Amino acid sequence: MTDPRPTSAVPARPISRLRAFLANAAAGGIVLMAAAALALAVANSPLAPAYFGALHATLGGLSLLHWINDALMAAFFLMVGLEIKREVLTGQLATWPQRVLPGLAALGGMAAPALVYLAFNAGSPETLRGWAIPAATDIAFALGVLSLLGPRVPLSLKVFLTALAIIDDLGAVVIIALFYTADLDLPALGGAALVVAGLVAMNRIGVHRLAAYLVPGVLLWVLVFASGIHATLAGVVLALTIPLGLDRRTGDSSLIRLEHAIQPGVAFLIVPIFGFANAGVSFAGFTPAALLDPVPLGIAAGLFLGKQAGVFGLSWLAIRSGRATLPEGATWRQFYGVALLCGIGFTMSLFIGLLAFPTSPILQDEVKLGVIMGSVLSGLAGTLVLLTSPRTRAV
């Protein structure tokens, strides 16, 4: 993660900080739900021409939708990178025993949905590129659903879901970098590499001023955008270079300070804007038969069937074999309910869908239908299972 072992240890994160993060992510998920519902309503109302017209209006050579997806979402990916680094170095993923259960669950929860999608699209080479769409879990949406259930769900399961989703996000970032990259511009890529080398060097020599990282970070975004790699990945790379260790002068952590500063804006503004801009799909001209096309059906089945099978199946094997333990205070039924909620794949699934089919508005609309169907089914089924689950383990 580029950080040397800090000379001053980062203090252990208190449970109150974890609760605050979960509460913030959960509330952001509720706002995201509202934004997605509003987008669907607007896209199927008399306001639809103005909605779609605004998204495709150009500014500086890019449409508003491109500015949202390529520039604004860089802050979301910066947040993802900060969370990954903090959790791996000092948080819920700091030790191998802590990583086993969410790691295996995330692995199963990415592989099984991809296989389900491929099964539905095996006869269509054009749509095979969408195999990774159902592989991602939306942490904000899923925690938003959990927050509506209150104390019915033990904190240990919320921690498990958070850790799983963070590993899942890391996997999605790797997938985007490896499989959804256009032709590379080597000079721009070389310039980006030089900027990253400079950021890593500043980390190593103990530079803690955030401006020293954020200003080159803007240049990094420009160069990555020009290189052919999706520009939002610059946010993840930048995050991994920001120091987590304590600054001897101020006594605080640059990474945690930045994370706390941008988290509300990302959760309550950027991600809802992304949801509003990308969830709007007009149902005009769609017939019920369209829901059975390979792309929407493969995505919906991948999220609803593949996610629960992969997450619950590998977790069950790990726990039964003694390699992991069931989260404290949780029942198997509650654990299955959370596995169902992992099928809510909204933000990252939509994002990957746009990368998979960048020139096909029809397939993009089918992606939206599949993501909405799979996420709604997963959310409703997971909620029903958790609402009807006993709160204590049977003896």
What would the mean pLDDT of 16-42 be, rounded to a whole number? Answer: 78
Confidence at residue 392, expressed as pLDDT on a 0 to 100 scale: 59
Confidence at residue 202, expressed as pLDDT on a 0 to 100 scale: 96
Cα of 220 vs its chain's centroid, Å:
22
pLDDT band at 104 (very low <50, low <70, confident <90, very high): very high
> Is pLDDT above 70 for 100?
yes
> Is pLDDT above 50 for 132?
yes
> Is pLDDT above 80 for 23?
no
Q: What angle do CA 354, 357, 363 make, to 5 degrees?
A: 100
CATH number at 63-281+288-388:
1.20.1530.10
pLDDT tens figures, 296-312: 999 999 999 999 999 99
- The Cα 117–Cα 295 span in angstroms is 8
What tokens appear for 360 in the block?
């096909």
SS (HEC) of the chain: CCCCCCCCCCCCCCHHHHHHHHHHHHHHHHHHHHHHHHHHHHHCCCCHHHHHHHHCCEECCEEHHHHHHHHHHHHHHHHHHHHHHHHHHHCCCCCHHHHHHHHHHHHHHHHHHHHHHHHHCCCCHHHHHHHHHHHCCCHHHHHHHHHHHHHHCCHHHHHHHHHHHHHHHHHHHHHHHHHCCCCCCHHHHHHHHHHHHHHHHHHHCCCCCHHHHHHHHHHHHHHHHHHCCCCCHHHHHHHHHCCCCECCCCCCEHHHHHHHHHHHHHHHHHHHHHHHHHCCCCCCCCCHHHHHCHHHHHHHHHHHHHHHHHHHHHHHHHHHCCCCCCCCCCCHHHHHHHHHHCCCCHHHHHHHHHHHCCCCHHHHHHHHHHHHHHHHHHHHHHHHHHHCCCCCCCC
Nearest partner of 310 among 164, 100, 112, judged by Cα: 112
Domain boundaries, the chain: 63-281+288-388
Match 């990474």 to its residue by tokens: 255
pLDDT band at 14 (very low <50, low <70, confident <90, very high): very low
What tokens appear for 225 in the block?
């955008």
Q: Which of 11-15, 203-207, 287-291, 307-311 has the lowest mean pLDDT?
A: 11-15
- The Cα 244–Cα 257 span in angstroms is 9
pLDDT band at 11 (very low <50, low <70, confident <90, very high): very low
- The Cα 370–Cα 358 span in angstroms is 17
> Is pLDDT above 60 for 18?
no
> Is pLDDT above 60 for 238?
yes
Q: Confirm if 260 and 273 have CB atoms less than 8 A apart.
A: no
Q: Confirm if 196 and 237 have CB atoms less than 8 A apart.
A: yes
> Is pLDDT above 70 for 170?
yes
What tokens appear for 265 in the block?
């804006």
